[in-house]
Amino acid sequence: MNSKYNISSYIHIKNNQVSLNGSVIFIEEHSIFTNFIKAAYKAQNTKYPKFFKMDNLSKLAFLAADILLKKQNLNVENNNNIALVFSNKASSLDTDISHQKAIQHKDNYFPSPAVFVYTLPNICLGEISIKYKLYTENSFFIFEHFNAEHLIANSNSLLDTNKAESVLCGWVELEGENYEAFLYLVSKEGTLEHNKQNIITLYNT
């Protein structure tokens, strides 16, 4: 069955590089994640100091979404009807471990509120929603592997029921130095049909 929805734009952040719609827009080789994501953020010239307060998963998700949404020329003062459907495997484990270390010993028990607030994966959706003033549906799913079928079912449902005019969806995985973001925007716009084969092809690009 042909889909009535299309993929209008997509982004990858992995292996120390950022690519938008298949074109590499930033590379920082031989760099650990924290240095890479900071350099990638600064290269975008986004003035948003809260970025530096985010945990690593939120930095990854926020930057991927920000680069992609910036190209949509949105007016952030309008209510942009863009839903968010994200997924990954490690949930917020990277930050959960940081929090656990802070509460490991009774005689050195100083949990950080700024770390604790990121011990849920869907916090990154909130960060994106705050920046772009999205008052839309959002959800974060945990899967063993990238799940194109679920992304299709969920985003098409949101579009079919007029819960959103477009959906930003994909996979944002981070555990230590292993990270990967793949997000795409689906709506009636665009030319690439929103189907499993196309999503998997883009994901593996």
Tokens of 19: 């690519």
Nearer to another protein, 130 or 142 (CB): 130
Amino acid at 23: S
Nearer to another protein, 110 or 135 (CB): 110
Residue 48 main-chain phi, psi, to 5 deg = -150, 85
Residue 28 main-chain phi, psi, to 5 deg = -140, 90
114 binds another protein per the rule CB under 8 A: yes
The total of other beta-carbon atoms located within 10 Å of residue 58's CB is 25
Nearer to another protein, 53 or 188 (CB): 53
Nearer to another protein, 55 or 137 (CB): 55
Residues 41-100 that bind another protein (CB under 8 A): 49, 52-53
**Which region, judged by CB under 8 A, interacts with another protein, from 20-28, 84-92, 108-116, 131-139?**
108-116
**Which region, judged by CB under 8 A, interacts with another protein, from 104-112, 126-134, 139-147, 149-157?**
104-112
Distances (CA, A) of 170 to 7, 69, 196: 12, 14, 12
Amino acid at 202: L
**From 34, 112, 201, 205, residue interacting with another protein (rule: CB under 8 A):** 112
Tokens of 38: 């900071």
Distance CA 205, CA 197 (A): 12
**From 30, 106, 110, 197, residue interacting with another protein (rule: CB under 8 A):** 110
Q: Is the dihedral angle over the CA atoms 38, 40, 42, 48 positive or is it negative?
A: negative
What's the closest the beta carbon of residue 150 comes to another protein, in angstroms? 32
Nearer to another protein, 78 or 113 (CB): 113
Chain residues that interact with another protein, rule: CB under 8 A:
49, 52-53, 110-114, 117
